[in-house]
Amino acid sequence: MTAKPSGPAEPVLDMHDIQGIAVPGFFKPYQVLLGVRYDRAPDRVNAIVRFLHDWSPKVSSAEVTLRDRREYRSSSISAKTKRDPLIAIGFSFQGLFGLTAGADAIASPAFKNGLARRAALLGDPTDPKSPGHPDNWVVGGPKNELDILIVVAGDTRKAVTTCATKLKRALAAVKAKVIAQPGATRDDVPGEKGHEHFGFDDGVSQPGIRGRASADPKDFITPRHVDRSDFPAAALFGYPGQDLVWPGEFVIGYLQTGPDPLIPGPVLEPTPAWTRNGSFLVYRRLRQDVGLFWRTMRAEAERLAALPGFAKMQDVELAAKLVGRWQSGAPLSRTPAKDNAKLGGDQLANNHFRFDCDTPKLKLVDGTDDFPQAKSDPIGAACPLAAHIRKVNTRDAPSDTGGRSSTYERRVLRVGVPFGPSAKDRYAKSRPSDPDRGLLFLSIQSSIEEQFEFLQARWMNDENRPKAPSGNDMIVGQNAAAADGTRRCILFGSGLTQAQVEAADQFVIPTGGGYFFVPSISALTTVIAPVAASGGKKKSSKTRSQTTTATH
């Protein structure tokens, strides 16, 4: 037998030029999103250009963000509180087009149409009276689309708020309108720190970016935790089960997914050229009706408990089946009968499982995984096919779009946080006076259509895809996309008995957002917001074009 092969050579990314929200991603507990609208009068445009130019040095590069993350992981608690917040800037199509006509060459129908006009495609309510209809959105609705989205993220609420306040003042000085939306990981309910409002640990399964930060062959952007001798897992994963995805799925101008995850596919060519090192950012402000969710779980669990094969079904178990994980983050695939908080909190184990075959134990660099390994579950007896985690990541299982590569090319990097205070009584009916709560969903991808929209419209909302017999994604799927406005899915009970779960009402309601292009830092300073050194006014388009050519 020949020697075991090793992993593929991985590209070095332009870490100084890519914004840090895209690579390696902002994973900070506190955020403020500043939605900006600016006037198109020439003096106002020049003013916003000056603002962008002045603030561009503070935009966090991938290099800065990765260094921040590495220092965070190695530093003491006290040091963590003193760190500067990270800043990212993205532009909607009209916001970008107002600054550079070259935006028109970006070949993305989704980006150009914007989130509000694509809402029906995403299954959002089409009835104007529905609170989730774009006409009723809190931010980014029709004729109210944001031009710019600024993300401020940090380790403390105070630092983020202070930075956001400075930005708001600077924006007010240039007569721009600003809507501020704070968000933070939840820490006000014992046992649910870092969980989203329904109570589930979130962000457990993030893809890893396959690539290096420097010429050092071991300077991986995504740390590796599987021992090199354990091929192919060592080449496929960062943390066990964390798929390493070629960077072109997140950043324009890099290698994308090919049929074989270890052999790169084609380069995603930048069009226009200055979109290289840029990404697309999807912002969805999702309101979560916690009371409705848990009352529905309770009622459906009681109904199921009376059916053969579903005895003693409880709301917590039912909710876990619909998510695919227990509230701790422990995957049903590894612990089908009950939660295991230790497993849920163990990054070396909580994402290591396959769906269609028995999962092997891996040899790890920095620990062991001694929890019971997942068993083959092709029909969804342990983790239902309609579970949210199976709807958005098919792992080793086939889908309606073919084999394993079809899930790699759909992955997005999620960098959002919850907003609003936690519910005090998770079964209580909401009242108009209740504070708003939910998720500031932010995702990074190189194609809005092929990644975020595909996942939402083609997999989560659909009654069968990616694999049948499943049903709708009961958590994030949108009712309007279901044939009769009711989401349904199939669950297996003991003895392979089957039952259907239904939800006529919507637990997750879209209340705003937008589609944004996150440019490279060089594109920001030379194409979008170039300011002449003397006059402080935007350069002519000819000059800008020359600058662009010189830059790339």
Helix (H, G, I), strand (E, B) or coil at 369: coil
- Pick from 262, 273, 305, 307 the residue near other proteins by CB under 8 A: 262
To the nearest whole angstrom, how small is the minimum distance from the Cβ of residue 528 to other proteins?
A: 24
Q: Which residues does residue 416 pair with via DSSP β-bridges, in sequence order?
A: none
Strands 487-492 and 244-245, how do they pair? unpaired
Query: Contacting other proteins (CB under 8 A), which of 182, 203, 223, 398?
Result: 398
Q: Is 285 in the site for other proteins (CB under 8 A)?
A: no
The minimum distance between CB 359 and other proteins, in angstroms, equals 11
Q: How many CA atoms lie within 13 A of 60 on its CB side?
A: 25
Binding other proteins (rule: CB under 8 A), the pick from 261, 324, 416, 519 is 261
Binding status of residue 265 toward other proteins by CB under 8 A: yes
Give min distance, CB of 374 to other proteins, in A.
13
Residue 322: what are its φ and ψ, rounded to 5°?
A: -75, -25
Binding residue (CB under 8 A) for other proteins from 79, 172, 263, 311: 263
Build a one-symbol-per-residue string for 123-142: x at contacts with other proteins by CB under 8 A, - elsewhere: x-------------------
CA atoms within 13 A on the CB side of 504: 2
- Per-residue string for binding with other proteins, 400-419, x by CB under 8 A? xxxxxxx-------------
In the complex, least distance from residue 426 CB atom to other proteins, rounded to whole angstroms: 31
Q: Which residues pair with 243 in a beta bridge?
A: 237
Q: Which stretch binds other proteins (CB under 8 A): 220-228, 274-282, 304-312, 373-381?
A: 373-381
- 106: number of CA atoms within 13 Å, CB side? 31
Residue 19 CA to residue 279 CA, distance in Å, equals 9
Number of helical (H) and strand (E) elements in the chain, helices listed first: 15, 13
Q: Is the Cβ of residue 162 or residue 464 nearer to other proteins in the bound state?
A: 464
CB of 479 to other proteins, least distance (A): 12
187-195: long-range contacts, CB 8 A cutoff, minimum separation 24: 187/29, 188/421, 188/422, 189/422, 192/327, 192/422, 194/29, 195/327
Query: Least distance (Å) from other proteins to the CB of residue 111?
Result: 11
The size of the interface with other proteins (CB under 8 A), counted in residues, is 59
Q: Which is nearer to other proteins, 490 or 501 (CB)?
A: 490
Query: Which residue's CB is nearer to other proteins, number 318 or number 490?
Result: 490
Report, in Å, the least distance between residue 381 CB and other proteins: 10
C-beta of 122 vs 417, nearer to other proteins? 122
**Using CB under 8 A, which of 42, 142, 217, 259 touches other proteins?**
259
Query: Which of 278-286, 303-311, 334-342, 372-380 is the region at the interface with other proteins (rule: CB under 8 A)?
Result: 372-380
Residue 325 tokens read as 């994980």
SS3 content of the chain, % helix, strand, coil (to 5): 30, 20, 50
Which one of residues 252, 281, 397, 423 is an interface residue with other proteins (CB under 8 A)?
A: 397
Is there binding between residue 308 and other proteins (CB under 8 A)? no
Rounded to a whole number of angstroms, the minimum distance from the CB of residue 482 to other proteins is 10
Single out the residue of 60, 30, 71 nearest to residue 158, CA to CA. 30
* Minimum CB distance to other proteins, residue 229 (Å): 14
- The closest of 390, 333, 386, 385 to 358, measured between CA atoms, is 333
How far is it, in rounded angstroms, from Cα 543 to Cα 242? Answer: 45
Kindly state whether residue 110 participates in binding other proteins, applying the rule CB under 8 A. Answer: yes
* Binding segment (CB under 8 A) for other proteins, from list 148-156, 211-219, 395-403, 531-539: 395-403
Nearest distance, CB of residue 397 and other proteins, angstroms: 8
Residue 494 CB burial class (10 angstroms; 0-12, 13-18, ≥19): exposed
Q: How many CB atoms lie within 10 A of CB 538?
A: 22
Q: Are strands 487-492 and 498-503 parallel, antiparallel or unpaired?
A: antiparallel
Beta strands in 169-311 (DSSP E): 177-184, 208-209, 244-245, 279-288
Binding residues among 216-255 for other proteins as defined by CB under 8 A: 231-232, 235-236
Site residues (CB under 8 A) for other proteins, limited to 326-365: 356-357
Q: Where are the beta strands (DSSP E) in 75-227?
A: 86-91, 148-154, 177-184, 208-209
Tokens of 464: 């069968």
Among 39, 54, 227, 396, binds other proteins (CB under 8 A): 396
CB of 10 to other proteins, least distance (A): 14
Find out whether 82 and 208 touch, Cβ atoms under 8 Å. Answer: no
Is 305 near other proteins (CB under 8 A)? no
Q: How far is CA 98 from CA 91, 114, 148, 277, in A?
A: 10, 15, 11, 21
The minimum distance between CB 31 and other proteins, in angstroms, equals 29
Q: What is the 3-state secondary structure (H, E, C) of 396-460?
A: CCCECCECCHHHHCCCCEECCEEECCCCCCCCCCCCCCCCCCEEEEEEEECCHHHHHHHHHHHHH
DSSP H or E run through 489: strand 487-492
Measured distance CA(314)–CA(309) in Å, rounded: 13
Query: What single letter denotes the amino acid at residue 343?
Result: L
Residue nearer to other proteins on the CB measure, 461 or 520: 461
Smallest separation (angstroms) from other proteins to the CB of 376: 7
Per-residue x/- track, 60-99, other proteins (CB under 8 A): ----------------------------------------
Draw the binding track, 444-473, toward other proteins (x: CB under 8 A; -: no contact).
Answer: ------x--x---xx--xxxxx-xxx----
Among 12, 120, 170, 307, binds other proteins (CB under 8 A): 120
Interface residues toward other proteins, by CB under 8 A: 1-5, 107, 109-110, 113, 117-118, 120-123, 231-232, 235-236, 258-266, 356-357, 376, 378-379, 396-406, 450, 453, 457-458, 461-465, 467-469, 480-481, 496
